[in-house]
Structure 1
Amino acid sequence: MSQTIWQGRWDGDELLYHRIFQRVKIENDYDVISTNDFVLHGFAVEEGVKRNKGRLGAKDAPDVIRKNMSNFPVILPDFSLLDFGNITCDDTHLEKTQQALAKNVSKVLLKGGKSLVIGGGHELTYAHYLGVKTAFPEQKIGIINIDAHFDNRQPEDGVGASSGTGFWQIAQEGDIHSLHIGIQRNSNTLKLFDTAHQYGMKYILADELFFENLPSIYQRITDLLDEVDVVYLTICMDVFNASIAPGVSASAYNGIFADAAFMHLYRHILKSEKLVALDVAEVNPLYDIQDRTARLAASLINEWFMV
């Protein structure tokens, strides 16, 4: 990973002028991580998208998102971001790549850092979760999935895990404590809804995300936060409307918007002291327009930096 990826407007060296690119450190030594450092891994992988028959191109997203993160102003004086570069899948061995990310994530969390992963396909969910579980084996882990899809389909014989199987895989590890926000009725078969009910996966439909319904949504989010010890938040960018997120593996004409209602509930999640890991997935630069999707992903990440 080169420091040249991180570039932005330089206004001065004083702290009040700082932008994110001025505070990033390129690292490969996990021993330097301090408590509350944000620690970034890029998941430059799309083997799971390929297996799931999605549009290819997501593996090129991490560096594009980095560039769109670079110029945001630093808000908190003690902000620190360590960038450990990209994990790739140069063969078709997705499972090995997922294990590699999980191992690195566990190192971050055991040092007290906050794990940030930018994808890449949503096959990163299972890997990121495994990293959290490895670090906190005795803790009850809550997962909030902001996504149009449950991603709980059973792996196909002869195909294996994909970007659409993460939550089914997690459910095989034991009791799952998940809340899926933005689920689309026309993007999930009855089988996937049935699987969600079978495993106790709670969900909020995209149609429910409007301002007047925020008290109910807040309560459902709070209920999950209260019943778990640590929280992992994953965002699949195909949850958003194609007008603001055209560059994804599976675009949605009727997706949600990053409007006031969404930002209220999103910041409600970010404020939880139990949140230890966050990722964004399915940005596809090949189909993006003016970096709209990458910019939105970068903005959602930056919200965490400001809490």
Structure 2
Amino acid sequence: MIWQGRLDGEELLHHRIFQRVKEENNYDKISTNDFVLHGFAVDEGVRRNKGRQGAKDAPEIIRKNMANFPVIRPDFSLLDFGNISCEDGNLENTQNELAKKVSKVLLKGGKSLVLGGGHEVTFGHYRGVKTAFPEQKIGIINFDAHFDNRQPENGVGPSSGTGFWQIAQEGDINSLHIGIQRNSNTLKLFDTAHQFGMKYILADELFFENLPSVYERVNELANSVDFLYMTICMDVFNASIAPGVSASAYNGIFADAAFMHLYRHILRNEKLVALDIAEVNPLFDIQHHTARLAASLANEWFMI
């Protein structure tokens, strides 16, 4: 069993997450404000993007690292709808499958949590939000070292690096990319970001004294949209705390006080309806450091 942990007792004050998870397959069972989990056990997009494969095995490992966290909110409810996989290599169909399921979650009033998998999860998750709320303005906050706005290669198709290019083809894009690295994006990708109107905050700008300016930019996006979707690519973090990713960053950001203040500020926004965590690669992880960090980031949402 994936959902197991230390049992201190059955009373509510003793509960840990594994005691409150329900494995489910009926979307009619979703209630307002339930957290609803899908695993996106896919790294076909990473393969197409010439990255290090292995992220498809992450959802189960992240679940194991989530299971033992204590439950903080008495009304906490987590429904686990299992994994979506891509055994036939048809990434486009798999992204559409995720979109349909996420749409069902949101239309029932649930909060969508997706554990990747590669960052190709972004397009599927966003499309699910947009399908649920077609007339509403969707804002995206992307913690990532990369813009992921490459144009798909002929004969290759969409990948883990094309999500925001794909989103931009469907209409105006309202996004803020936090943790961008100058040494991880070509001038072409910066130029594409400017053409699409993708706002960004460089990794070098994430320090405590600069938080008021960062908050202002986050709030500007949030105030201009109807719903928020946040996606976290784990390669935004320094390789010393997140070694198990598809493309590690020696100078990535840290999960320090400045980051956690900013992250919790976003989580508190009532417009946030969807969150995913991508690019955990267990094949390159060290003692589950990256998976544990990913699990902790998901758990932060549960505690707000």
- In the alignment, structure 1 residue 297 sits paired with structure 2 residue 294: yes
Match of 1:66 among 59, 63, 66: 63
Alignment of 1:1-307 (within 5 A): 4-307=1-304
Q: TM-score of the superposition, structure 1-length normalised?
A: 0.99
Return the offset for 1:260.
0.2
- For the residue of structure 1 that corresponds to 2:190, the secondary structure is helix
Identical aligned pairs, as a percentage?
83
Amino acid in structure 1 at the alignment position of 2:219: T
Return the offset for 1:171.
0.3
For the residues of structure 1 that align with 2:266 and 2:75, how far apart are their CA atoms? 21
Tell me the alpha carbon deviations over residues 191-230 of structure 1, each in whole angstroms, 9 at most, x when there is no partner: 0000000010000000000000000000000000000000
For the residues of structure 2 that align with 1:306 and 1:222, how far apart are their CA atoms? 21
Return the offset for 1:239.
0.3
For the residues of structure 2 that align with 1:215 and 1:107, how far apart are their CA atoms? 36
- For the residue of structure 2 that corresponds to 1:176, the secondary structure is coil
For the residues of structure 2 that align with 1:53 and 1:199, how far apart are their CA atoms? 24
Return the offset for 1:126.
0.1
Return the offset for 1:236.
0.1
For the residues of structure 1 that align with 2:51 and 2:207, how far apart are their CA atoms? 29
Tell me the alpha carbon deviations over residues 154-209 of structure 1, each in whole angstroms, 9 at most, x when there is no partner: 00000000000000000001000000000000000000000000010000000000
Amino acid in structure 2 at the alignment position of 1:203: Y
Aligned residues: 304
For the residues of structure 2 that align with 1:293 and 1:130, how far apart are their CA atoms? 27
- For the residue of structure 2 that corresponds to 1:117, the secondary structure is strand
Return the offset for 1:8.
0.5
Q: TM-score of the superposition, structure 2-length normalised?
A: 1.00
For the residues of structure 2 that align with 1:255 and 1:188, how far apart are their CA atoms? 13
For the residues of structure 1 that align with 2:192 and 2:261, how far apart are their CA atoms? 29
Tell me the alpha carbon deviations over residues 1-37 of structure 1, each in whole angstroms, 9 at most, x when there is no partner: xxx1101100000000000000000000000000000
Contiguous gaps of at least 5 residues in structure 1: none
For the residues of structure 1 that align with 2:16 and 2:98, how far apart are their CA atoms? 28
Amino acid in structure 1 at the alignment position of 2:276: D
Return the offset for 1:148.
0.2
